[in-house]
Structure 1
Amino acid sequence: MSVVDSPLPDSSSIDVTVAIPTYNGGDRIPKVLDRLRSQVTDSSLKWEVIVVDNNSSDNTADVVKTYQESWSGSELRYCFEPKQGLAYARQCAVENARGTFVGFLDDDTLPAPDWVAASYAFGQEYPQAGAFGGQVHGEFEAPPPENFERIESFFAIKKRGSKPNRYEPEKLSLPAGAGLVVRRQAWLDSVPAQLVRTGRGGNDFEISLHLHRKGWEIWYCPTMHIYHQIPPQRLERESLLKLIRTAGLCIYQLRVVGVTNWQKPIIAVKIMGGNLRRIVLHLIKYRGKVKSDLIAECEMTFFISSLISPFYSLKASLDKAWSS
């Protein structure tokens, strides 16, 4: 049961809710709140901010309380979600939001000064969009590895040009969760309260896939900009491989969202066949250099993890059945 510091009043007067799920983000959340406090919006735009404390053990609650004492222009609310996992934190945000639109920011992503205004304007202009995301830029505390652009999408870095365009959910071409904006009612009507992926790996895409299955379009908005803060430790080899392995292992689970049971074996075969081909081609291209080229090793890790993702999903299902 989530705990909110204020009751849920009538939502008709709120246009946008900005939701920030965080776990032990007491030292990161101030930068995000400072950016939100300085947003440039028209006086007619009504919006709020909800910080969802996902069972933190640090001073996150105290930090938010301090900001609440001097907050102005919008409303800053605090919500405690004891169930660990990003999916639970996001669900808590949506259930307690008062806005027509809910925009998600991570505690390490900083919005441009007009992000809230741009989000609302795009949602109004594209009523068929159940969810949309903008440009996500990487801000690195240390230089990334050579050829990093080949794997930058694993860090939610997205740039799709200067014109709005539709994503292609069938190809798992979808916006990142950081900076994702959804129609609250579309989420409540389309996204199950219990998602398969409860952590960061795959949860972003699963949300958009459920919306897509219910007939909503997923769009890219070029005027929305956020900046992902990336510390040096996230670019170290083991951290990179762990991130990419997690992304690969959820491929099968994402591909089967909303499909019938008879389609699942066909999808599994296609995933395994496609990735087996990629592995062979990758080995031919890099020969014995896969281990000495970090980016090539990351790509190979993704192909192998995707290849075994149907078996990983089966094991997870069996473990769940045995534990219930």
Structure 2
Amino acid sequence: MKKLSIVVATYNRAPYLLRTLESLARQTLSPGLFEILVVNNNSSDNTPEVVAGFAGSHPQLQVRMVTETSQGISYARNCGIASSVGQYIVFIDDDEEANPEFAKSYFCFFENNPGLDAAGGAVVPVYEAPLPAWYSYYIEKMITGAFDLGDRMVPFRGKRYPGVGNSGFRRRLFDRFGNFNTALGRSGANPMGGEEKDFFMRVRAQGIRYYYVPGAEIYHITPASKLTRAYFERLTRMIGVSERVRTRSEGGVSFPKRLLAEAVKWGGACVFAFGYLCRLQPLKGWYLLRMRWNITCGLLTGK
């Protein structure tokens, strides 16, 4: 039985998916130690043919595809958890490429740290189009999840956590805390997130810490469509909606506390926007305020 399962949830991204799979074929970890599990979430393109072709041209790898008919990234990832065989479950998205040490880095992390259950690695954006003038460091983090904590294994501090698109977990963590919240997460063309934060907050409340794994680096392919005003507007609004859903489902004072946090974030946004204005980059400052406005509207209205 394979000890590590790499789960790739996919929806209508066959050309990008092939790039993801080819990067997994270049892993330095012995093929005998891991499987590749593709979860097809109702794709209407040639995803099955792409996966079958890849599996046929890489007989040394164990490649499987399962189908999840309930639409949404959380449903697909939960299907991956249920259908995989490894005690270590690693997620990578279908618009990412893994560096050759990706699987080995996660495998060694879990093998060498039996008391640690959750980890994540660096995300490096790869752009397919020129960046717009309004694109700032803060918006890059929001759109691509870009981050890099260096070359040492360190815990994620405070409320910082990795995106599930580059993360690894021991299976026992899901056995103990449940899977991803299916009321949250991307679904079709809807970019709503929140499932990653929801899971992180649940396990963090029980004292579980995420660790940064150097070497487990992925390259997030960012197409021109994600660098448009329309995508920016839709994404930021849905971030607010997801926060509303997440905090209201927690009950108690979670939602009022989130509203208070939003007020604090407005103060920070104004400070950073003023900084961009002083650097003669007013458009970046304006979009930072627009981002905050959209998130607040989604948080308050749920739409």
Relative to the length of structure 2, the TM-score reads 0.86
Write the letter of the residue equivalent to 2:178: V
Deviation at 1:196, TM superposition (A): 3.2
Answer whether contact 1:46 1:74 (CA < 8 A) is retained.
Answer: no
1:299 paired with 2:288, answer yes
1:201 paired with 2:193, answer yes
Structure 2 residue corresponding to 1:40, chosen from 9, 28, 39:
28
Write the letter of the residue equivalent to 1:311: L
1:273 paired with 2:229, answer no
Cα deviation 1:179-234 (Å, max 9, x = unaligned): 11111221132134643313251122222222223332111112211101112221
**Paired residue secondary structure (1:229):** strand
Bigger mean CA offset, 295-304 vs 272-281: 272-281
Counterpart residue number, 2:107: 120
Write the letter of the residue equivalent to 1:224: A
Structure 1 residue corresponding to 2:236, chosen from 226, 239, 244:
244
Counterpart residue number, 1:134: 121
Structure 2 residue corresponding to 1:16, chosen from 4, 9, 29:
4
Cα 1:118–1:284 change in 2 (3 A) is closer
* Residue correspondence of structure 1 range 149-188 to structure 2 within 5 A: 149-154=137-142, 155-168=144-157, 171=159, 173-188=160-175
Deviation at 1:290, TM superposition (A): 11
Q: 2-side partners of 1:276 and 1:138: how far apart?
A: 27
Equivalent pairs counted in the alignment come to 296
Answer whether contact 2:276 2:282 (CA < 8 A) is retained.
Answer: no
Answer whether contact 1:142 1:232 (CA < 8 A) is retained.
Answer: yes
Counterpart residue number, 1:225: 217
Q: 2-side partners of 1:150 and 1:198: how far apart?
A: 21
Cα deviation 1:140-172 (Å, max 9, x = unaligned): 12232356323221111111222222223x53x
Deviation at 1:27, TM superposition (A): 1.8
Answer whether contact 2:274 2:285 (CA < 8 A) is retained.
Answer: no
Q: 2-side partners of 1:184 and 1:66: how far apart?
A: 29
Q: 1-side partners of 2:140 and 2:30: how far apart?
A: 34
Q: 2-side partners of 1:253 and 1:137: how far apart?
A: 29
Q: 1-side partners of 2:99 and 2:275: how far apart?
A: 40
Cα 1:32–1:280 change in 2 (3 A) is closer
Write the letter of the residue equivalent to 1:143: P
Counterpart residue number, 1:322: none
Counterpart residue number, 2:189: none
Show structure 2 runs of 5+ residues with no match: 187-191
Q: 1-side partners of 2:266 and 2:291: how far apart?
A: 11
Cα 1:37–1:296 change in 2 (3 A) is same
Show structure 1 runs of 5+ residues with no match: 1-12, 317-324
Counterpart residue number, 1:216: 208
**Paired residue secondary structure (1:99):** coil
**Paired residue secondary structure (1:222):** coil
Write the letter of the residue equivalent to 1:206: D
Cα 1:193–1:104 change in 2 (3 A) is closer
Structure 2 residue corresponding to 1:75, chosen from 45, 52, 62:
62
Answer whether contact 1:134 1:223 (CA < 8 A) is retained.
Answer: yes
1:263 paired with 2:233, answer no
Cα deviation 1:34-67 (Å, max 9, x = unaligned): 1111211247x51100111000111111211222
Counterpart residue number, 2:45: 58
**Paired residue secondary structure (1:104):** strand
Cα deviation 1:232-287 (Å, max 9, x = unaligned): 221122222322332243334445675xx332354144234324434655676678
Q: 2-side partners of 1:60 and 1:69: how far apart?
A: 14
Deviation at 1:74, TM superposition (A): 2.7
Answer whether contact 2:244 2:255 (CA < 8 A) is retained.
Answer: no
Q: 2-side partners of 1:193 and 1:282: how far apart?
A: 33
Q: Give the percent of matched residue pairs that are identical in Structure 1 and Structure 2.
A: 22
Cα 1:163–1:257 change in 2 (3 A) is farther
Q: 1-side partners of 2:58 and 2:232: how far apart?
A: 37
Relative to the length of structure 1, the TM-score reads 0.81
Q: 2-side partners of 1:292 and 1:226: how far apart?
A: 32
